[in-house]
């Protein structure tokens, strides 16, 4: 599925998994030339599913996504000059249904489902290559193709598809 984000002046960025090449690809629209630019971000193995994108105040894209080859969660970001790629969770079966947001410092907060543990993981970048990780137990409900947001009061909000009943659900919870 494609993921969309807007830049500072409403520039459009679309990250998606290209099925033919099994790569993570980014499309960006240049309003001045009225053209789309296509760029392969990661082509190491079968990568790019479950992508989520955010754009910082300098119009630099940040993308979190799943590496199907190794079942890892990966994070790619552009610093204004070059792309960087980091493996965030290499436990296996981690990284499904990811979501990313950026704070005022352009530090990412990443949510994803760890299928191996059956839990939602939260990673927040603190600077100096330090990440804070928290876990949310799903206590029996099945998260599938959802989105996750943390509110100002510290509650976690989930919207997700419930496979058994084939319907959309919404839940609110707290940390373990």
Neighbours of 48 (CB within 10 A): 28
Q: Which residue has the tokens 């790629």?
A: 85
* Predicted confidence (pLDDT) at residue 97 exceeds the cutoff of 70: yes
Model confidence at 162, in pLDDT bands (50, 70, 90)?
low
Alpha-carbon dihedral angle through residues 129, 125, 56, 151, given to the nearest 10 degrees: 180
Separation of alpha carbons 18 and 104, rounded Å: 31
Please compute the mean of the pLDDT values over residues 90-105 and round it to a whole number.
84
> Up-side HSE of residue 57: CA atoms within 13 Å toward CB?
5
Q: Mapping DSSP to helix (H, G, I), strand (E, B) and coil, where does residue 95 land?
A: strand
pLDDT by residue (tens digit) across 117-137?
Answer: 777 788 999 999 999 998 876
Residue 1 has a pLDDT of 76
Separation CA 5–CA 12 (nearest Å): 6
Alpha-carbon distance of 58 to 8, in angstroms, equals 7
pLDDT at 175 over 70: no
Please compute the mean of the pLDDT values over residues 26-48 and round it to a whole number. Answer: 93
Calpha distance 153→33 (Å, rounded): 43
Interval 144-152 mean pLDDT:
63
Of the pLDDT bands very low, low, confident and very high (cuts 50, 70, 90), residue 81 is: very high
The pTM assigned to this predicted structure is: 0.83
């Amino acid at each position: 599925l494609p993921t969309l984000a807007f830049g500072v002046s409403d520039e459009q960025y679309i990250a998606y998994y290209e099925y033919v090449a099994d790569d993570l690809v980014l499309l960006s629209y240049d309003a001045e030339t009225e053209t789309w630019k296509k760029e392969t971000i990661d082509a190491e193995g079968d990568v790019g599913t479950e992508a989520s994108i955010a754009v910082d105040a300098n119009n630099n894209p940040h993308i979190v996504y799943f590496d199907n080859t190794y079942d890892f969660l990966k994070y790619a970001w552009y610093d204004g000059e070059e792309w960087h790629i980091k493996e965030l969770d290499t436990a296996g079966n981690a990284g499904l249904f990811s979501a990313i947001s950026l704070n005022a410092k352009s530090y990412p907060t990443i949510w994803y489902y760890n299928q191996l543990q059956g839990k939602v993981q939260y990673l927040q970048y603190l600077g100096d290559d330090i990440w804070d990780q928290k876990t949310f137990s799903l206590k029996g409900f099945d998260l599938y193709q959802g989105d996750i947001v943390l509110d100002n009061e510290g509650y976690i909000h989930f919207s997700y598809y419930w496979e058994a009943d084939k319907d959309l659900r919404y839940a609110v919870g707290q940390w373990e």
